[in-house]
Chains A and B, each alone.
Chain A
Amino acid sequence: MSLALDLALCALILGVSLAAVAGAGVFRAVIFFITYGLFVAIGWARLGAYDVALAEAAIGAGLTGVLLLTAQGRLRRVQADRTERPGAPLPAALAGGAVTLALAWAWFVLPVPEAPDVAQALPQSGAGNPVTAVLLNFRAWDTLLESIVLLAALLGVWMLARDADWDAPLGPRYHARPSGVLAYFGRVLPPIGLIFGVYLVWAGTETVGGAFQGGTVLAGVVLVAMMAQVLPPPRASKRLLRAALVLGPGVFLLSGLAAAALGGSFLSLSAALAKPAILIIEAALTVSIAVTLALLVIGPAEAPEPAP
């Protein structure tokens, strides 16, 4: 029975992804991709990887979807040339097929190795959730670099502003009828999202959750608030905004350096202090991740379009 469920789920995942790649029309592809994120999140739930399911639900089904949708709207607005040159279907199909076959073959010959013993080191890590322990302690250098990757992407997006627009607020000038449904929604959702996001970070050290998941949920409600004109679009030069962006990576880096200065290794957390340290680092990271992700979706600075 359980297998039937997984088969049905995987059939849906494949069908939706095929529709996203092969179906005509960009809008349709984007919508199929949004549903794809949802099914994959369910897939992660089936695989028992709940932290990944949470990340996929928030990022794959939430943020990437709105990122692609708004981009599709922008492309239609600038009336971009839609002539689709034929690509190189045959070589591309061969390459894709070869990769699939190779991976499928590999699955059947892969030995089952001995995994690193996370459980044994867990008590010294300061986190009860092994995934959080890996992210924030054992492989903290990855996570630190990853928070910098987010920042680099945001910088790259900001650089796409026109020079004349550089001082303008970020993104389109969203507006909504003050007493309308959208404005109402934009006022009701953020408080709930805020509490839930904070809960995810707080609970993430012990159970499902974490800084990235919490930050993504917060980014989502920030986006809703901005689109409902509840939050005004900030300027890239705003000091508070810049401070929020560097807070997470900054605290992470400084705590790592402090450990090195106090005689430990770079990025080491002494077992006694590990739990509060992880919470502080995660809280700071969450703020930066939330702001960075929301601004990544909002896009570069734009002068307001002249009224039609």
Chain B
Amino acid sequence: MTSLVVLLTLPLVAALAVLALPERRREPLGLLTVAIGLVAALTLAASVWRSGPVLLTLGGWTPPLGIALRADGLAVALILMSALVMSAVALAARFEMRATRVGPRAAFGFWVLMALLWGALNAVYVSRDLFNLYVGIELLSLAAVALVALSGTAKALAAALRYMIFALVGSVLYLAGVVLTYAAHGVLDIGLLAARMPAESDALALGLMTAGLLAKTALFPFHVWLPTAHAAAPAPASALLSALVPKASFLILIRLWFEAMPDLASSAAVMMLAVLGSIAVIWGGVLALVQSRLKLIVAYSTVAQLGYLFLIFPLAGGGGSVQPWSAGAWTGAMFLALSHGLAKAAMFLAAGICIAAVGSDRLGDLRGLVRHLPMTVAALALAAITLAGLPPSGGFTAKYLLMTSALAAGQWPLALVLVGGGLLAAAYLYRPMAALFAREARIAPRPVPRIWQAVPLTLAASAILLGLFSATPFDLLQIGRPEPAEEGL
């Protein structure tokens, strides 16, 4: 429980401290914060592993009056993944800022916004209160929009504004659902909602909340803001935005559909989500295929990868009915969220290294970089293996689980999407790889410190390790898993 409180408050305290303390304390403070956060995340994971979900009623007031938090296996897995990504980003940001000579404005802003983003993520992962989740994702969205605008170019500002508009529409729709839920039931707690008397307006409330969260998760057709926004941010910020931010709103969707109102998941509704996800997989992949800049390819790949996550809805809970394959699909999607987070952060950090080395991320300018930056290229290659779902990566485990459950469920179109998405990913990731491994180099790169290069490599390697040692995370994800998917194993 102590570690949970630490994880909730540490990033916020760090943000306040960076604001209040003089500049020279900033970097040591940032690194100390991520170190403590990593330790706290491991402690919390160990505690959940040993003795089940950790509960916390804030202020000692139980719902419906107060707000309850609950760290289950899924929340803890995301917390741990976020702490890893945050640590990597903090390390890489130090080098990045020196290499790109970031001014005092952006350097200051980055540390504060990163801490705020982290605080928001941890708050969302464990919250059980629909309105508290609203405040959490608002904090997340504002920090994320500010990170997109950090570079200050007209392009970045336009991208940030487009993101902002989608975020505003999303928060209004989500809030409308929350309002209807409270107006009908007088409770906001997810656990209490699961035990509610169903009301006629519940389907509308769930629909509004879902629509809002889809806009924030950038599911097709709400994806248009994502690629430009993620590509416009500085590379460490892009890593946070792509790897972590969409996972928060996706997690709320999971909480709503599987825990708060599982009885409302009609087969048509869950199929709709899966169809949108499938289109996102294909469309994001096709658009990634035609990009000529590394960061845009990686950003469009996020659109595609987020699409996979939505296959969970028909496979793991359609109509609230429990099927033998539910557990596999559920765990598979969560594995995908985790391994995508690690691999995508690695890719953006590696892209940042490439930009620092050759001053551009155009594929043509990256030619032959493998000889100068072997570690970075290795990181990109390992991350690509995960994203394409090739063995032995975490992405492979995820897709394997999803595939077997899709076939068991007789949903062969979804299985086709999984195969097609994998092929597309292999195709769009082949192009940067081909450029990086080219024989001739176009630009003589500047040297990049090896420690910096080791950061994305570590992240990408951990995405592979997630596949090699999948038993432990697999079991961790089962702790406190919502009922409908539980009995199928």
Contacts and interface: CB of A to CB of B under 8 A. Distances in A.
Interface stretch (B100-108, B284-292, B412-420): B100-108
A149 B58 contact: no
A7 interface: no
B138 interface: yes
Interface in A124-181: 137-142, 144-146, 148-149, 151-153, 155-156, 158-163, 166
A266 B149 CA distance: 35
Interface string B106-120: 100100110010011
A304 interface: no
Contacts of A114: 186
Given A111-B184, A153-B142, A242-B20, A266 B105 contact: no
Contacts of B146: 152, 155-156, 159
Contacts of B184: 110-111, 113
Given A138-B59, A138-B61, A256 B15 contact: no
B199 interface: yes
A78 interface: no
Contact of B150 (A148, A151, A159, A239): A159
B139 A149 contact: yes
A67 interface: no
B44 to A, nearest CB: 14
Secondary structure at the B interface, as helix, strand, loop or mixed, is helix
Nearest to A300: B105
A243 B20 contact: yes
A162 B152 contact: yes
Interface in A104-122: 105-106, 109-111, 113-118, 121
A90 interface: no
B105 A156 contact: no
Secondary structure at the A interface, as helix, strand, loop or mixed, is helix
B109 A155 contact: yes
B200 A159 contact: no
A115 B104 contact: no
B23 to A, nearest CB: 9
Contact of A138 (B65, B136, B149, B185): B65
Contact of B200 (A109, A116, A250, A257): A109
A142 B132 contact: yes
A103 interface: yes
Interface of B: 2, 5, 8-9, 12-13, 15-16, 19-20, 56-61, 64-67, 103-106, 109, 112-113, 116, 119-120, 123, 131-132, 135-136, 138-139, 142-143, 145-146, 149-150, 152, 157, 176, 180, 183-187, 197, 199-201, 204-205, 208
10 nearest CB pairs, A to B:
A156-B146, A113-B186, A116-B64, A166-B105, A268-B60, A265-B60, A246-B16, A109-B200, A163-B103, A106-B201
29 contacts: A103-B176, A105-B204, A106-B205, A110-B201, A114-B186, A116-B64, A116-B65, A141-B58, A145-B135, A151-B16, A152-B113, A152-B143, A156-B146, A159-B106, A159-B149, A159-B152, A160-B152, A160-B157, A162-B152, A249-B16, A250-B13, A250-B16, A253-B9, A264-B60, A265-B56, A265-B58, A266-B5, A266-B8, A266-B9
